[in-house]
Amino acid sequence: MTFLLVDVGSTFTKGALLGTDGQLLARAAAPTTVGPGRDVLDGLLEVCRALGEGGRVPDPLDEAQRDRVLVCSSAGGGLRLAVVGYERAVTAEAGHRVGLSAGAKVVHVAAGRLTTAGVAELRAARPDVILLVGGTDGGNAEVLLANARRLATSRVGAPVVVAGNVEARDDVAAELARTNRRVTLADNVLPRIGVVHPGPARRAIREVFLEHVIGGKGLSKGPRFGRLVRAATPDAVLSGVEVLAEVLDGDVMVVDVGGATTDVYSVLTPQGEDASLRKHVVATLWHARTVEGDLGMRWGAPGVLEAAAAEALPGADDPALAAWVGRVHTDPATLPAAPEEQALDLRLATMAATVAARRHGRPAAPGEAPRPLKDVRLLLGSGGVLRHTAPKDSAAVLGAVLADHGGGWRPPDGAATAVDTAYLLFAAGLLAREHPVLARAVAEQVAVN
């Protein structure tokens, strides 16, 4: 018996075939086919054909084999989340951090009472899900209720996850329900000042994503694809990083350099002075993801140069690099052919990884400490630019991150580097809940790469 793990991305669909012991048997990729007259399942089925015939690969369209097919997706732009909170430095910030850790791209954050202009800005952000937060348990509920009333009568049709003051939760749900809004209730993300409680809201966001968003993006003609998808891809990857940290019994940091964004994940175990960081108004999330929507190798390439210049990184004003950025941004399918193009692409990746790591590591707000990354045991690279280059080149990109001592954060001391060359972190994450032993076996293969 085998398991089929598939990541349906906006550009490519990537699959891994695993044995019952979790060992990788084969992997394949195919273009994700989204567009008029086409179905996202086409790419998934093409991956199945590439992996093998004759019963070796479970059939994703066969309900009887569904337990052997686990799929995550970022097709259609992934999960776009808006956060509506009370105070920007407290509940709105807590909601923002929880949203990022739930695998969402946070496209808008509103704080305080929503105004007419504020609702217009929220609508313009085109969120898939709204996370409505506000107040500690038993604290002020006026703003939370006022925002619920505003959302109830607005033309923003996204489903709402309510994760604010639990004593006002029923009243908030009633306000939204009177205009037939789709509402999911979760525990407060900030039950007390300094305590962030992300788990219930993360699970609620995941459930709403699976129930309402995947099926509502027009990615597939029928319900089959929606039934197959278990998680948003970044959420699956974060779960995979958590499993990897357990296997290594140490802190792990991942830098995923993509075409449109550069994502950074970290799973940390607080020790010593770090364990006292709960004193901050919004506590540190020890299992976290940050997404940098302006940093990417293709669609986000111009943002890399702008950010590198703002960070005073060397080479940001190089005309040759600027010309390469213009070319790949215009034609995202461009791949480096000549050695000089490969060198330019790696320089771009180094800048994206360095800036993204700085943003992940720096204090989230004035008065807070940097994220405690000094004890990270493994810095793992991901993304096509790192998977498809020579080991010495990917090591140089990750080495630049570890050598970045002027960026306002403390890089890890003596961390090893590796690349998820087989692209298995997402698979470990998809398996983690229902097949934890297999998940660990997959993560062990990542650890030895």
Residue numbers of the domain that contains 62:
2-75+221-231
User: What whole-number distance in Å separates Cα of residue 330 and Cα of residue 325?
Assistant: 8
Q: How confident is the model at residue 37 (pLDDT cuts 50, 70, 90)?
A: low
User: Which uninterrupted H or E stretch holds 84?
Assistant: strand 80-85
Quote the pLDDT of residue 206.
Answer: 81
| β-bridge partners, 251 | 376
The answer to whether residue 275 scores a pLDDT higher than 60 is no
Whether 387 has a pLDDT exceeding 60, the answer reads yes
Residue 443 pLDDT > 80, yes or no? yes
- pLDDT tier at 3 (50, 70, 90 boundaries)? very high
Give the phi and the psi of residue 380 in degrees, each rounded to 5.
-105, 130
CA distances from 323 to 50, 335, 341 (A): 36, 14, 11
Cα angle value 410/291/341 (rounded, 5°): 85
- Kindly indicate the confidence band of residue 79, based on its pLDDT and cuts at 50, 70 and 90: confident
Task: Report which of residues 323 and 192 the model is more confident about.
Answer: 323
Name the helix (H) or strand (E) containing 295. none
Residue 379 to residues 253, 265, 313, 373, 401, Cα–Cα distance (Å)? 5, 10, 21, 10, 9
- Based on the fold, state whether residues 380 and 246 are members of the same structural domain: yes
**Within this chain, do residues 183 and 295 fall inside the same structural domain, yes or no?**
no
pLDDT digits (tens, 9 = 90+) for 390-442: 999 999 999 999 999 988 899 999 899 999 999 999 999 999 999 999 999 99
CATH number at residue 205: 3.40.50.2300
Query: What is the enclosing helix (H) or strand (E) of 26?
Result: strand 24-31
CB burial string 283-302: b at 16+ within 10 A, e below: bbbbbbbbbbebbbbbbbbe
Q: Kindly state whether residues 226 and 260 are assigned to the same domain.
A: no
Q: What is the pLDDT of residues 89-145, one digit of tens each?
A: 787 888 887 887 776 778 899 999 999 999 999 999 999 899 999 988 998 899 999
pLDDT of 302 > 70? The answer is yes
Query: What number is the average pLDDT over the span 154-180?
Result: 93
Is residue 279 predicted with pLDDT exceeding 50?
A: no
Residues 324 and 245 reside in one and the same domain: yes
Arithmetic mean of pLDDT over the chain? 88
The secondary structure of residue 178, as a DSSP letter, is T
Question: pLDDT tens-digit profile of 63-75?
Answer: 888 889 999 988 7
The full length of the chain comes to 449
Confidence of residue 278 (pLDDT cuts 50, 70, 90): very low
Percent of the chain with pLDDT over 70: 92
Q: Among 231, 261, 282, where does a domain finish?
A: 231
Please check the confidence at residue 214 and state whether its pLDDT lies above 80.
Answer: no
pTM, 2 dp: 0.82
Beta strands in 136-295 (DSSP E): 160-162, 183-185, 229-232, 251-257, 262-267, 287-292
Tally the domains of the chain: 3
Both 199 and 227 in one domain: the answer is no
Are residue 46 and residue 11 in the same domain, yes or no? yes
Phi, psi of 317 (to 5 degrees): -105, 15
CB of 6 within 8 A of CB of 44?
A: yes
126, 139: one domain = yes
Is the same domain home to 310 and 440? Answer: yes
Confidence bin at 216 (pLDDT 50/70/90) = low
Identify the weakest region by mean pLDDT among 9-13, 137-141, 332-336, 428-432.
9-13
Residues 431 and 343 grouped into a single domain: yes
Same structural domain for residues 227 and 237? Answer: no
Work out the average pLDDT over 6-26: 90
AA letter at 328: V
Angle at 331 (CA atoms; ends 327, 333), nearest 5 degrees: 120
pLDDT of residue 304: 95
User: Which domain CATH number covers 57?
Assistant: 3.30.420
- The predicted pLDDT at position 412 comes to 94
Are 27 and 106 within one domain? Answer: no
Q: What is the pLDDT of residues 163-175, one digit of tens each?
A: 999 999 999 999 9
Domain boundary among 199, 231, 263: 231
Domain co-membership, 259 together with 339: yes
Q: Is the pLDDT of residue 298 over 80?
A: yes
